[in-house]
Structure 1
């Protein structure tokens, strides 16, 4: 069986690349395609020596630094790949990869991290944060997003089968493309986060400090709970806002970015991991659970797929300091076993991901009369 895997773009080893890594292990014979490839040499190990076939975006002026500015050309670029000789095409998509063209004899399975967030429900937030909500540049950006939205909706009909990385994303897919999907949670490296049953009295946040993560809300909540300790690990553009929210609160320690070993130790020893973002999935939540650490998380997004209420953590309903404070108080009335948290994390292992994807593909091939 000839297999092709198409990935969006390669410029770093992050969440979507961890999915790609497992797909390449599942289908080692697969040929790899990408809109562009600027992955640093030190991060290429997971490709197993493969050099992906890339599009014309790779050769545009200053593409290494500016390839995201060529987003408007990427639908054309991805449609130029000739995949007519393949029996199975798997796309790993958060923008354009699922729009690849395939023939009637090819099974196309799309693993969707999200429809284009910036073209759909997060458009207004994106425009505000990019300062493109007014003026001529803003008008041109809105025009581009409208064209991308139309293409995204139309190309959403192209995959034969869609796998969504969470129930939250399955809902976005249904809203944007009017397609049903099967939830296949992304793989998490559980081995890197060993189980530790013994806990201390601090709560922990570990995250990039960017606006949508709402770390400032968590800091504001704990500033009003002086008898509860909070450790914040991470750095980013919101650092000043987080420091302002935590100002004068001796119970809050802001560590900045910490080495991986220190991060794991913080997660292992924490009383609970606090999470206030609306995230597509939330790999950090699973990493905390792998350490045996309960969760106090915002109820929207992928957290609802991860938290087993009152058994491995709890969900709070609103992105407010008051809601976080109430959740912490309620959490402390629960008795959550660290072993239950670790067992919950096992649902999201790399092996579990590969098994689910393989079963999904084999079922689709069988329905078409093909063979795995």
Structure 2
């Protein structure tokens, strides 16, 4: 019987995007242990990860290791390499930072699901330095040295992976750019069943996200404050108070809400607004599962999850003028959007589809490995359309 281990960067930020993907992997591979840098059990009460067997790194016991684990980024490459995975035949890593860099032996199979190459070391490097006020000075120099080291390490560890999977075509292109390796796209699972698309639409717009700069919640709030159109904002994060201070009376910031509340608002909103350049973007798919049209920034994963004119409207620039124009286009055509059509489109991202494709990929990779053939070629040649 094949012994399989799962590896995740960390489990301390709540049950959100990559954690939900990990849960679906665990559903396909029940009982498999999870290796992760840090683990905050209270974040996963009531989730499929609550009773998982979890092994953590030394960072777990360092000062504020769980609450401020990002501060230990320079140590993460070393710590991820300390996991002893020699007892397993197959390693599956779920990576947006360092987990793809685990050490594996020649006889082991390593399949890595890439949510993104490390964004703050690659694509968002300059933006990260600007937003962290690290353009110059001693701290800036140290940060640049650390990120330079991270890039060298990240690139070199691509050779430890037999098969790359990507959560979108957008990310697959970045995997090629960063590692010069092909990646098979497996769209992440979205729990579309928990959303009701049959309820009447109301007159408010909705957005939901973590309040961090690249999500551009400030852009959405500022645009709607100027227009006076009703907007409800769900989510929390470092920029919450700053954005709240600029919000007009027509904008309601509700903070974090339960899954039940989120589903309720999505099922009633006039449209969902999404302004991030996202790798995939699960939340816009959830909105579509609830029958809501999406007004989205026309770059990144949104181009693969939203269909212009059928399930939403795109805007071309991350500025108020472009977003305002897109809202106007939507309002002029709102009567043409059909909730059932939007919901049907979202169904292609259901968890059952992810599980079926993930099983097929693992089976093909393991069979190729046993035959002494290239698992990457086997997976890239796999026909997933007729599963």
TM-score (structure 1 length as normaliser): 0.90
Q: Which runs of 5+ in 2 are unaligned?
A: 373-387
CA distance 1:318–1:143, change in 2 (3 Å): same
User: Secondary structure at the residue paired with 2:347?
Assistant: helix
CA distance 1:234–1:79, change in 2 (3 Å): closer
**Aligned partners of 2:6 and 2:194: how far apart in 1?**
27
Q: What is aligned with 1:344?
A: 345
Q: Which runs of 5+ in 1 are unaligned?
A: none
**Aligned partners of 1:244 and 1:66: how far apart in 2?**
26
Q: Does the CA-based 8 Å contact 1:157-1:179 persist in structure 2?
A: no
Q: CA deviation at 1:189?
A: 2.0
What is the number of equivalent residue pairs in this alignment?
Answer: 367
The 5-angstrom pairing of residues 64-103 of structure 1 reads: 64-103=66-105
Q: Does the CA-based 8 Å contact 1:232-1:254 persist in structure 2?
A: yes
Q: What is aligned with 2:368?
A: 367
User: Secondary structure at the residue paired with 2:48?
Assistant: helix
**Aligned partners of 2:267 and 2:295: how far apart in 1?**
15
User: Secondary structure at the residue paired with 1:117?
Assistant: coil
**Aligned partners of 2:6 and 2:169: how far apart in 1?**
24
Q: CA deviation at 1:19?
A: 1.2
Q: Does the CA-based 8 Å contact 1:233-1:258 persist in structure 2?
A: yes
The 5-angstrom pairing of residues 22-41 of structure 1 reads: 22-40=24-42
2:141 maps to which of 139, 142, 157: 139
Q: In the alignment, does 2:309 pair up with 1:307?
A: no
After superposition, give the CA deviation of every residue in 1:307-331 in whole Å (9 maximum; x if it has no partner).
0121111221111111112212222
CA distance 1:121–1:258, change in 2 (3 Å): closer
**Aligned partners of 1:136 and 1:273: how far apart in 2?**
42
**Aligned partners of 1:69 and 1:245: how far apart in 2?**
29
Q: Does the CA-based 8 Å contact 2:113-2:166 persist in structure 1?
A: yes
Q: Does the CA-based 8 Å contact 1:197-1:338 persist in structure 2?
A: no
The 5-angstrom pairing of residues 105-144 of structure 1 reads: 105-144=107-146
Q: What is aligned with 1:205?
A: 207
**Aligned partners of 2:62 and 2:253: how far apart in 1?**
41
Q: CA deviation at 1:197?
A: 4.5
Q: What is aligned with 2:269?
A: 270
Q: Does the CA-based 8 Å contact 1:278-1:302 persist in structure 2?
A: yes
